[in-house]
């Protein structure tokens, strides 16, 4: 098996480029899968696109069928109409155990800005679901993503990585929000969008008090659903400007493909308000608010995903001991997964080699005993043991070479050579 991951790292790619590479809707993902299946018909594929990363997982039995990094970069470039030179230097490619380990780290939130955040494993599950829905998965990606979900569970239960403020929403409310407001129960909160991130952020806000909550969404039924869960009120999307002017706190998570509020629009909105302190938490990827909105006046506090990074790095430092324990689990599970893969790749050929050579042993022993009928039972057994040891010693070098090559991926070249050398039938 060969597993490859290619991704744009949030540590090396600026937010603007990452926004252009993101897959912001399920409809866009469906089109992407259509293109990927056409471009790489022999590969199993899973796209993971979140606010911090865009990753493509590719798996196939035969390494010769593996798309190279250039081909994958060209897919991103063509699909998003983005010149290669704008992002190709920030594409990282990993294969085999390194790729498996990376996915396990992602699912376990070891690779997140906020260690232990619970949201990422749900995003991994959703990416896996969408890939299945688009007929892009196969036995290798099924095994890989099910293992990643299992590893995430182990890390969550066997370490304290998720203790305290562990999600982007909790850090945003607890650290950023608290630096602006002493209390939240007298504030009006506007939620733009109604996804999982919005719901999570609301939970943390309500833990800090009982604010008035307004939910605005392009889809009224989604706004109504979230409002009913949080004791808020759904309002028409057409009234967005009015509710922005009234809000003390705005949490925006629409997933739109471009900012929904540009600076000119916001200036007009602000002129219709009393210029009170306004905390805007833009969790959209791409951004929902133009970055210049934060400079309109001194009472506007605009934070986006990248603004969380320093706080999250501090969080990471404080959890070093738990991180080491989590990484130990991930390393153990990576070895376990690759061992299963190696067994899958080498097991049949090893079994057939042993069976065929032991058939030869049996035939030759029977022929020898026929020619030497005077041998008693103890001598016969000793002869059988000696021949068995000879065969095992002869088999040991090729089987060890097969296992060694398998540790770097599927050993197809050596398997084919062994089939020819020993005349093994398919």
Residue 48: asked if its preceding bond is cis (omega within 30°), the reply is no
Starting at the earlier edge strand, list the strands of the sheet with 54-60: 44-49, 54-60, 2-8, 91-95
Q: Which of 51, 137, 230, 312 is catalytic?
A: 51
Q: Which long-range contacts (CB under 8 A, 24 or more apart) does 288-293 make?
A: 288/192, 288/193, 288/252, 288/253, 288/254, 288/256, 288/259, 288/260, 288/261, 289/252, 289/259, 289/260, 289/261, 290/259, 290/261, 290/262, 290/263, 290/266, 292/263, 293/261, 293/263, 293/266
How far is C-alpha 33 from the chain's CA centre?
Answer: 17
In 127-207, which ranges are E strands? 188-192
Annotation marks residue 51 as catalytic: yes
Reading the block at residue 360, the tokens are 């030869």
| Among candidate residues 299, 295, 245, 297, the one with its CA nearest the CA of residue 277 | 299
Report the catalytic residues. 51
């Amino acid at each position: 098996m060969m597993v490859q991951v290619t991704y744009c790292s949030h540590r090396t790619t600026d937010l603007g480029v990452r926004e252009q590479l993101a897959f912001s809707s399920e409809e866009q993902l469906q089109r992407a899968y259509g293109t990927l299946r056409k471009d790489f018909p022999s590969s199993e594929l899973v796209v993971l696109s979140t606010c911090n990363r865009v990753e493509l997982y590719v798996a196939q039995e035969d390494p010769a069928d593996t798309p190279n990094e250039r081909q994958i970069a060209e897919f991103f470039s063509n699909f998003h109409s983005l010149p290669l030179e704008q992002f190709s230097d920030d594409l990282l490619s990993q294969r085999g155990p390194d790729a498996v380990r990376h996915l396990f780290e992602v699912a376990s939130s070891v690779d997140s800005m906020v260690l232990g955040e619970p949201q990422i494993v749900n995003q991994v599950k959703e990416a896996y679901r969408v890939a299945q829905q688009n007929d892009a998965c196969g036995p290798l990606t099924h095994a890989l993503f099910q293992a990643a979900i299992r590893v995430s569970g182990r890390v969550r239960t066997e370490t304290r990585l998720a203790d305290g403020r562990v999600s982007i929403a909790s850090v945003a409310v607890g650290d950023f929000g608290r630096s602006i407001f002493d209390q939240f129960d007298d504030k009006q909160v506007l939620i733009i969008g109604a996804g999982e991130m919005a719901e999570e952020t609301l939970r943390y806000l309500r833990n800090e008090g009982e604010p008035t909550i307004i939910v605005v969404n392009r889809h009224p039924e989604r706004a109504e659903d979230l409002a009913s869960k949080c004791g808020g009120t759904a309002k028409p999307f057409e009234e967005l400007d009015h509710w922005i002017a009234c809000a003390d706190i705005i949490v925006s998570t629409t997933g739109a493909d471009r900012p929904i509020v540009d600076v000119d629009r916001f200036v007009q909105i602000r002129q219709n308000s009393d210029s009170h302190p306004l905390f805007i938490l833009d969790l959209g990827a791409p951004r929902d608010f133009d970055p210049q909105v934060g400079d309109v006046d001194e009472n506007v506090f605009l934070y986006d995903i990248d603004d969380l990074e320093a706080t999250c790095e501090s969080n990471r430092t404080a959890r070093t001991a738990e991180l080491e324990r989590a990484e130990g689990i991930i390393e153990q599970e990576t070895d376990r997964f690759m061992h299963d893969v190696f067994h899958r790749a080498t097991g049949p050929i090893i079994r057939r080699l042993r069976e065929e050579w032991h058939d030869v042993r049996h035939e030759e022993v029977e022929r020898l005993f026929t020619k030497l009928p005077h041998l008693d039972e103890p001598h016969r057994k000793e002869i059988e043991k000696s021949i068995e040891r000879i065969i095992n010693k002869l088999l040991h070098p090729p089987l060890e070479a097969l296992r060694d090559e398998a540790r770097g991926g599927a050993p197809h070249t050596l398997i084919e050579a062994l089939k020819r050398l020993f005349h093994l039938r398919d």
